[in-house]
């Protein structure tokens, strides 16, 4: 009888440890996937796509000297543009949310140039294509057709 009880306890302990190890591996895999496909970090604009009938018809890189950087924390976004040939300041700050295919940025404030835009439109909705080290935010028209995208690469 003692042998049966010891055997039963060992079996339960072994099964429990195996399930814990399996759950731990699933959580670890999920966290790695979430991290690699997260907007959290610092991104630099590298180029644009123009669309007609939801197909890319033109692409071009950012102008030399022009820089646009976006930084995402778990809930906040901040971006700035440096346009060397223009003294106008461009930046914005606010919240964002993503799901599998969309990005919504809700700006709280921005540069003088952005204040007028934010006054009329606080929420910016994009179709989102997100990979480990690059993402595209695609502007859509009122009917859901793609207009243009800004394409970013991860720099941190």
In CATH, what number is assigned to the domain containing residue 60? 2.40.128.280
Q: Give per-residue pLDDT as tens, 39-69.
A: 999 999 999 999 999 999 999 999 888 999 9
Quick one: 27 and 59 in the same domain? no
Quote the distance between the C-alpha of residue 87 and its chain's center: 29
Same domain, 103 and 68: yes
26 and 58 together in one domain: no
For residues 63 and 128, state if they share a domain: yes
Say how many domains are in the chain.
Answer: 2
Distances (CA, A) of 26 to 12, 17, 48, 76, 78: 21, 14, 37, 28, 33
74 shares a domain with 129: yes
Q: Let me know whether 9 and 43 are in one domain.
A: no
Under DSSP, is residue 7 helix (H, G, I), strand (E, B) or coil? helix
pLDDT band at 31, cuts 50/70/90?
very low
**pLDDT for position 87:** 80
Same domain membership, residue 135 and residue 59: yes
Give the number of residues written for the chain: 156
Are 32 and 44 within one domain?
A: no
Residue 4 structural domain: 1-36
- Cα 104 off chain centre by: 10
Is residue 62 domain-shared with residue 2, that is, in the same domain?
no
DSSP string, 74-102: SSEEEEEEE-TT----EEEEEEEEE-SSE
Q: What is the pLDDT of residues 62-110, one digit of tens each?
A: 988 899 999 999 999 999 999 888 888 899 999 999 998 999 999 999 9
Both 69 and 129 in a single domain? yes
Check whether residue 43 and residue 30 sit in a common domain. no
Question: At a CB cut-off of 8 Å and minimum separation 6, what does 51 contact?
Answer: 57, 138, 145, 146, 147, 148, 149
Model confidence over 118-152: pLDDT tens digits?
A: 999 999 999 999 999 999 999 999 999 999 999 99
């Amino acid at each position: 009888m003692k042998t049966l009880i010891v055997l039963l306890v060992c079996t339960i302990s072994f099964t429990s440890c195996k399930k814990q190890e399996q759950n731990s591996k699933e959580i670890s895999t999920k966290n790695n996937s979430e991290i690699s496909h997260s907007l959290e970090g610092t991104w630099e604009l590298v180029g644009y796509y123009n669309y007609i009938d939801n197909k890319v018809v033109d692409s071009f890189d950012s102008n030399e000297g022009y820089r646009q950087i976006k930084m995402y924390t778990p809930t906040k976004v901040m971006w700035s543009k440096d346009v060397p040939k223009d003294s106008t300041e461009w930046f914005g700050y606010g919240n964002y949310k993503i799901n599998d295919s969309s990005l919504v940025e809700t700006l709280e404030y921005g540069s003088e140039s952005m204040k007028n835009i934010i006054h009329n439109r606080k929420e910016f909705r994009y179709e989102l294509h997100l990979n480990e080290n690059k993402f595209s935010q695609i502007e859509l028209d009122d009917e859901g057709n793609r207009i243009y995208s800004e394409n970013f690469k991860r720099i941190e």
